[in-house]
Amino acid sequence: MPGLTWGSPMASEVNADFDAIVVGSGISGGWAAKELCERGLKVLLVERGRKVTHREDYVTEGKGNWELPYRGQIPEQEVERDYAVQKDCYAFTDFTKHFFVNDREHPYATPDDKPFAWIRGYQLGGRSILWHRQCYRWSDLDFEANANDGHGVDWPIRYKDIAPWYDHVETFAGISGSFEGLPQLPDGKFQPPFPMNCVEQEINKRLESSYSDRKLIIGRAAHLTAPTDEQLALGRGRCMNRNECQRGCSFGAYFSSLSATLPAAERTGNLTTVTDAIVTGVNFDAASNRATGVNVIDANSKDGRSYSGRMVFLCASTLGSTQILLNSTSEQFPNGLANSSGTLGQCLMDHLDRPAAAGIFPGFLDKYASSRRASGCYVPRFRNVNEKDERFLRGFGYQGAASRQSWKQGTATPGVGAEMKTALRRPGPWTLSLTGFGEMLPDTRNRVWLDEKRKDQWGIPILQIDCQHRENELAMLEAIEADAVEMMEAVGMTNIKSGFKAFAPGLGIHEMGTARMGRDPQSSVLNEHNQAHDVPNLFVTDGACMTSSACQNPSLTYMALTARAAAGAVEMLREGSI
Amino acid sequence: MRDDRNLLTRRKAIQGAASLLGGAIAATQLSTFMSRAASAAAAGEPPAFFDADQFALIERIVDVMIPETATPGAHAIGVHHFVDLMLAEWASPERQARYVRGLEQLDTELKRPDGESFVDLAPEEQLDVLRAVDAAAYADNAGDTFFVELKKMVLFSFYSSEIGATEELQYEALPGPYKHCMSVDEDVRAWFDLGFTYGL
Ligand SMILES: Cc1cc2nc3c(=O)[nH]c(=O)nc-3n(C[C@H](O)[C@H](O)[C@H](O)COP(=O)(O)OP(=O)(O)OC[C@H]3O[C@@H](n4cnc5c(N)ncnc54)[C@H](O)[C@@H]3O)c2cc1C
């Protein structure tokens, strides 16, 4: 069976010319499809993974652990055999594994001493099904960072360029959050925040009295707490706080391509979607200096075919899009399409993801909160904001939440018999844990390229990834731990544990860079419109475009950049400039 | 907050159905409703991984570790069968080998000084012996012990069962708006902790 096709026009017309081809249906591709379709373009969305149907295919949604054969655990041998990389993702369980790739089928290579965890979801919706929904605006502290300290090239945009697009995507996606007035973490178009529990509120109070620049706020998360008419019309509803989102949500309460952008694109009648279709390269016509379409291999039959379109949007995720460009060679671009600068593949970044510290918050034993909440809390960046830190450049934030311990405390403390059972029936003490998310510098030595000798089962050269935490990152990792411990002590916490291992790059799951935006075609791949300097009708709007990494979760910024680029591209198409 | 907000659990529904049928519900029918471990326990099936001696030891340990109180204990809900199933189908060969070695050693550690086997001791004596081994396993210099690994497995098996999660503890299928600061009594039950990992 050739790749499943549906939408409008009909399957038989799929060989027609499209106004735009969008590669990848995750967070970025969903937005590209929606924005282009809504502006009247006939769009072909090409997705390498299987079709996932909203609701129907959320096969573990709502199940209790006891309803799965191993209560959520995956047989250990299966994990080692098929998920050697994905297993390190915190969200990888028997409830979610069908939304992660099988590592055996999707190889890549790293030097032995420099692991990089490439966490992926190949399916309609990509990782928008799996993500943790944390959404934070970047500010000019971030967009000016490269210019200020000289690492990487300058961003070709500033906050004012992207702010209206943050408004636009937040309004549609639905972001819950609180207004804080912090310059380094601009407020947005928020739906009502989830409440912080009484201990989190108390911790914030004490933090604010100990520090002028630190606070604990509720996380900003892509959850509907007060759905708009537009969201209701798309079949989305209010969040029930199950916090089992990675299994899929039939309420459509969290933002995903399946709940939000793809239905919006489909209702225009302008979208055609093909799944099980792996894009191997972008076709290029040297005479007109234009991309003409994409080559595709059917994931199942392995037959090849191609699609043509007037413009191409690459949204196959950071490394997916770069792999496609590197694999699109021609006489004019022997080292990868749109790579006249030679920078394609360089400056891979992720977030330093480090469980920093955890401890007990004494008291409040007569208080309890609901069992689950769909967002944790956030400590916005405070280093290198007002004062310069001598130890490292840039900054970090923390994510974490306070809750009372449950039965798992029994595995960490002595006790057996009725005494233990009776004690574990009651909630334990309040605890708080903080995980740091730190900025990585853009460094040309952290890079990816194709290994022409090793190919995957579809004949595509596999990606080589060489990326590591370097001096600045190592100094920051120390501060992430030390600051967390200090803050916990300051708010009166006890039994503070730290010394947890930092994660290998990749496990922040915020991989960024490798086809960066910049002002100068000599040192960057994309311009301020996410348009390839070299090929005017080629756009890359996923994480590959990022010029620096900030410390905030990046997907909201991918959304805004994608929507902005789509609007710009349509304008150029109408003007006839592409 | 009230502590008796029990949903009608499936088990109760099954029990209700079974009593309507005069208790004559067939094991095969039952197993489509109940977990495999529970039905194995109900049918008195032989273990799939452990040998008879190992299984007898596991069976006694789970019963002593999480006994019946006002609520069902681990034995009644077939935790020993679930541990056996996990070892047979979930565990890696390395873990299986660790369990075989660990149980052999634990059997020795659990012997009374006069050599009497743990399984032959009176229940109160079993509790004393298990408590001593448990205390030693959590001593500062104990390192990683098999006993702690087994205890994690037993606790996971008990609390992630339907009875464990919904009756021993509490479980909200659909929490709804987040209640951020409820006043609770001393007898409030803990939420079943729905984490991503259980550190087995
Ligand atoms: C567990 C988890 C938690 C996360 N939490 C957060 C968070 O809280 N906040 C945040 O900002 N981010 C978070 N992320 C990261 C977030 O998911 C990604 O940044 C985001 O999904 C990237 O969007 P994308 O569209 O660029 O890529 P993806 O969502 O990965 O989508 C890419 C799509 O392209 C397809 N594709 C790839 N190659 C090809 C090809 N050759 N041909 C055709 N199709 C192709 C893929 O199958 C996929 O569907 C999290 C991720 C995970 C896994």
Question: Which of A97, A138, A509 to probe ligand 1 with, by most ligand atoms within 8 A of CB?
Answer: A509
Q: Is residue B168 part of a domain?
A: no
Least confident range of A243-247, A499-503, A563-567, B93-97: A499-503
**DSSP, residue by residue, A181-242:** --TTS---SEEPPPPPPHHHHHHHHHHHHH-SS---EEPPBSB-SS--HHHHHTT-------
Atom of ligand 1 nearest to the CA of A28: 25
Report how far residue A100's alpha carbon sits from residue A89's, in angstroms, rounded to the nearest whole number. 10
Q: Is residue B53 part of a domain?
A: yes
Q: Is residue B44 part of a domain?
A: yes
What would the mean pLDDT of A420-442 be, rounded to a whole number?
A: 97
Percent of chain A with pLDDT over 90: 96
Report how far residue A316's alpha carbon sits from residue A47's, in angstroms, rounded to the nearest whole number. 8
- Residues of chain A in contact with residue B69, where contact means CB-CB under 8 angstroms, are 418, 421-422
Percent of chain A with pLDDT over 70: 97
Task: Give the number of domains in chain B.
Answer: 1
Q: Residue A80 pLDDT > 50, yes or no?
A: yes
C-alpha to C-alpha distances, A300 to A1, A50, A457, B74, nearest whole angstrom: 8, 10, 11, 47
Return the higher-pLDDT residue of B199 and A130.
A130
Q: Is residue B87 part of a domain?
A: yes
Distance between the two ends of chain B, CA-based, in angstroms?
32
Where, residue-wise, is CATH 3.50.50.60 in chain A?
Answer: 1-174+255-350+442-467+511-578
Q: Residue B16 pLDDT > 90, yes or no?
A: no
Q: Within an 8 Å CB–CB cutoff, is residue A72 touching chain B?
A: yes
Atom of ligand 1 nearest to the CA of A90: 1
Pick the CATH number of A1-174+255-350+442-467+511-578 from 3.40.718.10, 3.40.220.10, 3.50.50.60, 3.10.20.30: 3.50.50.60
Which 190-219 residues of chain A touch chain B by CB within 8 A?
194-198
Q: Is residue B171 part of a domain?
A: no
**A217-218, strands of its sheet edge to edge:** A217-218, A377-379, A396-404, A430-438, A352-361, A494-498
Report the pLDDT value the prediction gives residue B40, as an integer from 0 to 100: 78
Report the pLDDT value the prediction gives residue B199, as an integer from 0 to 100: 80
Q: Is residue B121 part of a domain?
A: yes
* Cβ–Cβ below 8 Å for B171 and A406: no
Report the pLDDT value the prediction gives residue B29, as an integer from 0 to 100: 38
Question: Contact B31/B39 with Cβ under 8 angstroms?
Answer: yes
Least confident range of A125-134, A312-321, B28-37: B28-37
Q: What is the DSSP letter of B189?
A: P
Output the ligand 1 site: residues, CB below 6 A: A 23-29, 46-49, 89, 91, 119, 121-123, 126-128, 130-134, 278-279, 315-317, 320, 324, 509-510, 542-543, 553-555, 558
Q: How confident is the model at residue B41 (pLDDT cuts 50, 70, 90)?
A: confident
From B153, B156, B164, B123, select the one nearest B58 (Cα to Cα).
Answer: B153
Report the pLDDT value the prediction gives residue A184, as an integer from 0 to 100: 98
* Cβ–Cβ below 8 Å for A70 and B159: no
Question: Contact A57/A247 with Cβ under 8 angstroms?
Answer: no
Q: Is residue B172 part of a domain?
A: no
Backbone angles phi, psi at B29, to 5 degrees: -65, -45
Least confident range of A185-199, A285-299, A307-321, B185-199: B185-199
Report the pLDDT value the prediction gives residue A14, as an integer from 0 to 100: 55
- Residues of chain B in contact with residue A413, where contact means CB-CB under 8 angstroms, are 138
From A516, A496, A294, A479, select the one nearest A391 (Cα to Cα).
Answer: A479
Q: Residue A440 pLDDT > 60, yes or no?
A: yes
Q: What's the A121 CA to ligand 1 centre distance in angstroms?
A: 7
Q: Taking the model in full, what pTM does it have? A: 0.94
Average predicted confidence (pLDDT) for chain A? 96
Q: Which amino acid is at A31?
A: W
* Cβ–Cβ below 8 Å for B160 and A417: no
Q: How confident is the model at residue B93 (pLDDT cuts 50, 70, 90)?
A: very high
pLDDT, tens digit, for every residue of B135-168? 999 999 888 999 999 999 999 999 999 999 999 9
Average predicted confidence (pLDDT) for chain B? 84
Q: Residue A422: count other Cβ atoms within 10 Å of its Cβ.
A: 13
Report the pLDDT value the prediction gives residue A213, as an integer from 0 to 100: 97
Highest mean pLDDT among B2-11, B33-42, B107-116: B107-116
Atom of ligand 1 nearest to the CA of A49: 47
Domain residues for B68?
4-163
* ipTM of this complex: 0.93
pLDDT, tens digit, for every residue of A345-355? 999 999 999 89
Three-class SS of A506-549:
CCCCCCECCCCECCCCCCCCECCCCEECCCCCEEECCHHHCCCC
Q: Residue B17 pLDDT > 80, yes or no?
A: no
Q: Residue A246 pLDDT > 50, yes or no?
A: yes
What would the mean pLDDT of A234-243 be, rounded to a whole number?
A: 97
* β-bridge partners, A470: none
Report how far residue A234's alpha carbon sits from residue B14's, in angstroms, rounded to the nearest whole number. 39
Report the pLDDT value the prediction gives residue A16, as an integer from 0 to 100: 67
Report how far residue B165's alpha carbon sits from residue A228's, in angstroms, rounded to the nearest whole number. 36
- Residues of chain A in contact with residue B135, where contact means CB-CB under 8 angstroms, are 414
Q: Is residue B199 part of a domain?
A: no
Q: Strand (E) positions, A385-459?
A: 396-404, 430-438, 447-455
What would the mean pLDDT of A43-66 be, rounded to a whole number?
A: 97
Q: Could you tell me the two tokens for B7? A: 């949903």
Q: What is the dihedral of CA A540, A544, A549, A555, to 10 degrees?
A: 70
